[in-house]
Structure 1
């Protein structure tokens, strides 16, 4: 007859007084991890013991049980109970539920301890999320959940943030179709349809990295640290119905504003209010815009003004700040490196002192009525006010007969006068820079095509500003340039029937890249110009005397600056004068112009996103060699441009219109074991998963540890 398989007999359970239990030295856990003994004790005090201890009877030398039991499995629970006894919150004789192992089956106490710890599995993040959500539905707050389960509030918030992710994507993650990093990246947006659309796109894409998911979900949003958002204020944006997207899993610098159209409307409305307040000062016109092009004040006369005097309280505050600043500078004058808190304090003092130094100007009341104000935003979202500009058409004809000869452009809406009576100030809102439109559709042509006229114009505008800056600091070159112009007039067909004439004008650029006026070169020119303007008298008679009294160094510096402002090396489609561009090259070589050192860099916006793929690969090949170009030649244009920007960063590579001399070609670009981070892993193309991707969800350190 067939034998019957014996039935398993489980170890018996019984309640044992705590003072009859001792901790076994067979417990395999030696390193403290997870929930602390103190936290576990608090949890036991709140909900009592949820899991029995595994014990073995201690046998005496005669083989008879002593009535005392050792605890090889459940040592942390035993120590938590022991702590409660020491705190007199638990009686020494309190009955503890235990599973009693007799040891007669040949299994050691060490094996029991190891099995209990190894055969556990951490709670899946989705299970933890659903559990937290259930507790929230039952009325618990995030802080209460964190306190009860001894995790940080941020962990609870992160898990609950998964409520913003589509159930379809949660199911994909539960089935192992995406990583936790990818799933959390989708939580940046609450639009389930958009999330699913992005995942559908990524399923056909080579790049599925979490950062790429965030970029796709936020590509049409505006960062909180954008100057428009800083100007309007997040509270005002949200009060108007705007939504701010936040990422609880990475540093999002404050998040993203989801409604750019609403933000633009709020910017225009607030700019209008600010412009109306400024118009109340009596100006003829106020032109307000988010930004103005570089050189927007060309042809305008700047009213001389005097800084307003400080009040007694302001002067006292200024002296206190200055004394502290000087004391810190003296104290740390010989230090190789400033302590972080000292460096931060010095920065705060510099900002506060600069606010006192940059006082508003007092203008002649009679002049205010014919002048105007430019209102825009600086990089930090604060108002940038440029007061006291007189347009050529608003100059008094009798006092300034030559004013009509000054070249320049005026705002589209201008003020006027009727019978000498100043009309109400005209406020212009708008004037956005002529941004280049979005990049064209994927260009799969592999041939090198000429750069577009618009791009060449923008690039050469950058070069012109850099040339003006460099020549403005080099008297010898500036003098030679002006002498060259004089020679052309004296011996060429451009000579005029006059005793001696030389004319120089500052030309506004017909087109330019956004942000040109914020470049380092443009700022230096503006600062230099403002410094001279403040120093020189406004009267032509007084100006002659001032120039005559100047020292040679000051006179040469002023000459170089004025000469530099006449430089125009911008490519103009209607002007095919090759000698003009050749002369610009001579100037660039004379001042050793390096556009990379001047601050220009090839980015997606400035170059790489504006040219076909062949041009992108050509740039990477010239700067980094064939190896680097081959690593990205399989990418789509948008991804190729992003990776090329990263590869070219710091390389000093320049497109042809910006080069003073041909750059050296680098034919080495080794990607070896010593440079594992040269390119993102998704470009390697080996199809292997990273170590993090190979980990199971049970290895996630942020999982809630189950009780032993």
Structure 2
């Protein structure tokens, strides 16, 4: 300690703490806890001969630091054998209680691994990764089973194999609190915050997902749907045999329509202004306000009450961890509930059938064959009408299940890919397709009988967009075992080139989607080709799972593709030029 002096050099009777401030605060904590009396004497050293700053610097610089492992074990000894609380240890050593708890957790790592740490064979980050479990045997088993990649991330993956990352959509949906309250265990290491870690019981988590989805489904049932199906994954294939109806915009009153037109006019003015100059913050705020007000005036789209009385909905887990609700599906067995709602046949159609019935069938076939020949030629002379006819046939088979209404002997058969890849229906491409399907369907009539007349009123751009969507859903470039004809696959390659398909923007190899399903030789060759000869050589002695994980990290963002996903090299230049 050092004497305090006033401005004239006289002693004040007080002292400066040169070294030992943490120890002084520890004694004050003991006083507050009534472990010692406020007047108890504490031994102090008063040094009036040496410079205070020099003394402080010497203690903090010249002294030899403890090895961190010694510090961990010292804290553990005080806690486990001396019975000291983390707060007491923190106060005595001038650190926070959180630091003490971390040190105690690190002290629980296997002594064998701690010995490796002392010798420099483990970094502090690696030791911290082992705190995911207190099982020393498991810690040592993982350490011995690691290949060349012994990093902290590799340790965590090995220790949490079969567990669910807290960032998984199931974990985000259920929430850590609900999972723990149900008896679940979350394993964390020292890097994890309170929202991190791993859900150690996937089966319990799945049950909680279904239970919470069922609760969410109650609100959907209250809307009046005949049936509501709860499923963890939304499966497009399950809905492929159902007709789907969509909500329509609510009818607006004259007053509401006038208000909407006024808001839209102001919005258009600001949008036109934005094309020529940058809007001020006030203008940008007004644009956002106008968008909100217009949506409020329009109101939410509503389903026809008859559709609700005959249809159903699916409640599932969404891609981002929220609830996904898909409404408006009409099953075949429920179609009877909607019988009689379609447009009645015209008298002309009835009279036509009566007149045909009075003629011999052979003669009817002859006459209508002549008419078909003339109709073909007439259509060939009107490309605009032919285009609408093709769109009509495709849209009827894509948007109206089981509808064979076109006189063109063509149809669009949607090819479902979910049977080949788990989770394909939740991919970004599948979600974009579903959103586009819903958007296009809103412009189509409720009944297929009205489709032709509706399409006659579409613009060329609308027709082309509708046709492109229908055609895209029929694309089938899947290579199946025993495929007899190579021609469709050759056409798939040509189509890929025409649209400048670049799979590197949408796919990269992982242990799940590729590397874990091929031989070790294929993995090594992929790394050799995508990274380097040296990187491939490092994988040679690894076991298959470790090799696949290591290769995934090495190939990340390298743009490497297996041969089956590449365009033929001889035609890449032509495709890019296109």
> Is the structural similarity TM-score above 0.5?
yes
Offset, 1:644: 2.5
**Structure 1 150/364 Cα, relative in aligned 2: closer, same or farther at 3 Å?**
same
TM-score normalised according to structure 1 size: 0.56
Q: Which moved more, 1:40-49 or 1:384-393?
A: 40-49
- Asked if residue 603 in structure 1 is aligned to residue 510 in structure 2, the reply is yes
- Asked if residue 128 in structure 1 is aligned to residue 71 in structure 2, the reply is yes
- Asked if residue 549 in structure 1 is aligned to residue 457 in structure 2, the reply is yes
**Structure 1 126/664 Cα, relative in aligned 2: closer, same or farther at 3 Å?**
farther
**Structure 1 541/261 Cα, relative in aligned 2: closer, same or farther at 3 Å?**
closer
Distance 1:548 1:359 in 2: 29
Tell me if structure 2 keeps the 8 A contact 1:374–1:385: yes
**Structure 1 50/593 Cα, relative in aligned 2: closer, same or farther at 3 Å?**
farther
Distance 2:298 2:102 in 1: 46
Offset, 1:385: 0.5
Normalized per residue, which structure has more helix?
A: 2
Distance 1:135 1:635 in 2: 42
Distance 2:562 2:198 in 1: 34
Offset, 1:576: 2.0
- Asked if residue 635 in structure 1 is aligned to residue 577 in structure 2, the reply is no
Task: Please list every run of 5 or more consecutive structure 1 residues that lacks an aligned counterpart in the other structure.
Answer: 1-14, 20-35, 56-68, 78-112, 339-344, 402-478, 487-497, 666-708
Tell me if structure 2 keeps the 8 A contact 1:294–1:516: no
- Asked if residue 370 in structure 1 is aligned to residue 310 in structure 2, the reply is yes
Aligned residue among 176, 181, 188 for 2:132 = 188
Once the two structures are superposed, what CA deviation does each residue of 1:601-621 show, in whole Å capped at 9, x if it has no partner?
222211111111222233334
Distance 1:158 1:17 in 2: 38
Distance 1:354 1:225 in 2: 36
Aligned residue among 656, 672, 678 for 2:563 = 656
- Asked if residue 240 in structure 1 is aligned to residue 179 in structure 2, the reply is no
TM-score normalised according to structure 2 size: 0.68
Matches within 5 A, 1:77-88: none
Offset, 1:260: 1.4
Tell me if structure 2 keeps the 8 A contact 1:173–1:183: yes
Superposition RMSD on alpha carbons, in Å?
4.8
Aligned to 1:165: 109
Matches within 5 A, 1:217-236: 217-236=159-178
More RCO (CA 8 Å, sep 6+): 1
Partner of 1:387: helix, strand, or coil? strand
**Structure 1 188/551 Cα, relative in aligned 2: closer, same or farther at 3 Å?**
same
Task: Please list every run of 5 or more consecutive structure 2 residues that lacks an aligned counterpart in the other structure.
Answer: 6-15, 28-40, 253-258, 343-386, 395-405, 573-578
Aligned residue among 39, 47, 55 for 1:75 = 55
Offset, 1:386: 0.4
Partner of 2:569: helix, strand, or coil? coil
Distance 2:176 2:415 in 1: 40
Distance 2:2 2:467 in 1: 99
Offset, 1:219: 1.8
Distance 2:558 2:124 in 1: 36
Offset, 1:187: 0.8
Once the two structures are superposed, what CA deviation does each residue of 1:38-87 show, in whole Å capped at 9, x if it has no partner?
885464476598785778xxxxxxxxxxxxx344895229xxxxxxxxxx
Aligned to 1:577: 485
Once the two structures are superposed, what CA deviation does each residue of 1:152-195 show, in whole Å capped at 9, x if it has no partner?
44322211222543455445545766443332221122334422
Aligned to 1:612: 519
